[in-house]
Amino acid sequence: MRKILFVAIFLVTGFIYADLHFDLSPNILLGSSDVVDTPTLLEFYDWLDRPSYSKLYLDLGDDIFKIFFQLELKSDLKSNFSIDPNYPEVGYGEFNFDIFKLSIGRRKLATGPGFYGLNIAQQAPYFDHIWFEAGKPEVGRWRYYFTTITTDNLATGQISEKEDPYKTYISHSFSYVWDNFILNIIDSSLIYGRVPDLQEAAPFIHYHGLYQRGQNVILDINFDWLVNSRLRLYGEALIDEFQLSIESSDSNPGAMGFILGSQFKIKDGRGAKKILNTSKDHLLRTENFIFDSGLYISFESMFTTKYLYNRDVELGKITNPILYMWDNDSVIFNTYFGAAYGPDALVNRLGLTYNVDPFKMDLTFESFSFGGFGINGSFDPPYNNWLSITSLTNSNFRIALNLEWIYNSNQTFYSNIKYDFGLFNNLQFLLGWGMKLF
């Protein structure tokens, strides 16, 4: 009944304000993989990237104030029509002024300079959040970011089997921006098993408990360097734990993550116009120098150690459980705030992008290596070989080609080919047509 009422309010409001839009995007997917009841994270992210068959969305406001939310229809890997039970998948209000921005609701977020991230990354389906940022618009200034994210209590409760399955991720970030260099320092805390108090959740009090009662605290440092108009270098390092030589061998082990990446622009060009609305279009992220048009090459490498994000209690792990409908049943995907594939992993990504109106092409090669430890590994002493990369023996490789042709101001044609070999052997081909009806 609540869903019917929600849809009714959605439709009436949209027609009253004449800002209701509808995208139609029929597509067909052919693949050689076996259908599974619970997909891996790699398969789950593939499914998230698949275009919806149709999308109804409401877009109210202007450049200063905006309200946006949408409903979409798509299929799962078993070709069942699926609608996210947590309506809507994207829905937020945003205030945007020269000196500050405020976003409240549900959308994708990112706090790092790369395609992947370690603190808050864009691969997660969405984050229920409050995002505040402030700073002067000119070059050579400080910028401050504050983010609070809550997890799905139903999903978190089923995984942790606790009566109070509260997980709140609170992040404070100080960034300094030069004309060609950005340095960002982030202190984040996962508050679990209880509701945060104002000492922890206040945006202007930079604090966390020294003894971490019900907390998992991390430090993230990242940079973005625009060497010249053609070359961009960036990196990120996250420290969850660090064991000093003077500490007991039973103290928490080292737990870290690292990202290094670069982009090289071969040719300038005006990017292709967006026709279909996607959740990625509403990504909110910290300031950066990312190339997104013309012809350019990208490379990125992400390494996470075996104990990263881990704790000896389930609630204390820096994970982001999300409940989705899958094969006419509810399935919990244990995603992450940061590194898309969690701890004990090495991911390399090489890409060639051509984005010049009216065409867009992405050719990527990715390698994924995973250890046998992961987020469910034992967090008990002795902590051995926390930095080891030799244990990453399970590997998968992927070649992917994405093509899009903007036919006119309302229509687009797109296709995608993916070939996986290694852990998974799968060839997928997707072909679709999209149209903005109103």
User: Which domain does 287 fall in, by range?
Assistant: 2-436
**Residues 240 and 197 sit within 8 Å (Cβ to Cβ):** no
**Residues 284 and 103 sit within 8 Å (Cβ to Cβ):** yes
The pLDDT value given to residue 210: 53
Whole-model pTM: value is: 0.90
The pLDDT value given to residue 14: 46
**Residues 110 and 128 sit within 8 Å (Cβ to Cβ):** no
Assign 201 a pLDDT band (cuts: 50, 70, 90).
Answer: confident
The pLDDT value given to residue 248: 58
The structural domain count of the chain equals: 1
**Residues 286 and 111 sit within 8 Å (Cβ to Cβ):** yes
Q: Which residues contact 436 (CB under 8 A, 6 or more apart)?
A: 21, 22, 23, 275, 276, 410, 411
The pLDDT value given to residue 7: 52
Cα 347 to Cα 56, 74, 126, 156, 344, distances in angstroms: 35, 28, 22, 27, 10
**Residues 108 and 123 sit within 8 Å (Cβ to Cβ):** no
Residue with tokens 């060639």: 352
The pLDDT value given to residue 263: 98
> What is the percent of the chain with per-residue pLDDT over 90, rounded to a whole number?
50
Residue 212 confidence (pLDDT) above 60: no
**For 199-221, what is the mean pLDDT?**
75
Task: Give me the DSSP letters along 235-292.
Answer: EEEEEEE---TTS-TTSPPPEEEEEEEEEEEEE--PPPPP-S--GGGG-EE-------
Q: What is the CATH number of the domain that holds 343?
A: 2.40.160
Residue 276 confidence (pLDDT) above 60: yes
**Residues 338 and 257 sit within 8 Å (Cβ to Cβ):** yes
The pLDDT value given to residue 194: 84
E strand or H helix that includes residue 29: strand 27-31
